[in-house]
């Protein structure tokens, strides 16, 4: 079990209070915006979000790698076809020398 994080608890208490007092009309909306930023940072730093984000990056990189490997296969096939054409032409030139 994690230790109780006092600064985090205080941050939640202040942010929650800021939202409630803004809703009640006692503080300007800018204060609620600060609270919103606090919560967005908390969500971003959470283990769940970080795991999701990392998994998404891995999936995107795997997809990119798959596309690059497919391109590589196509390029290698073109090179092999060109080599075959070149060797066929070279063999034909040796059989029929130009005068």
pLDDT single digits (tens) 32-74: 888 999 999 999 999 999 999 999 999 999 999 999 999 999 9
Total-model pTM: 0.56
pLDDT tier at 97 (50, 70, 90 boundaries)?
A: low
Is residue 86 scored above 70 in pLDDT? yes
Q: What local confidence, expressed as pLDDT, does residue 11 receive?
A: 87
Separation in Å, CA 53 to CA 12, 46, 60: 24, 11, 11
- H or E stretch including 27? none
pLDDT at 96: 61
Q: How far apart are CA 2 and CA 88, in angstroms?
A: 72
């Amino acid at each position: 079990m994690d230790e109780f994080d006092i600064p985090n608890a205080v941050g939640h208490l202040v942010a929650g209070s800021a939202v409630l007092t803004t809703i009640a009309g006692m503080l300007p909306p800018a204060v609620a915006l600060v609270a919103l930023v606090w919560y967005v940072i908390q969500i971003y730093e959470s283990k769940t979000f970080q795991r999701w984000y990392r998994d998404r990056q891995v999936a995107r990189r795997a997809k990119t790698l798959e596309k690059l490997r497919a391109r590589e296969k196509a390029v290698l096939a073109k090179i092999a076809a060109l080599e075959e054409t070149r060797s066929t032409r070279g063999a034909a030139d040796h059989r029929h020398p130009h005068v």
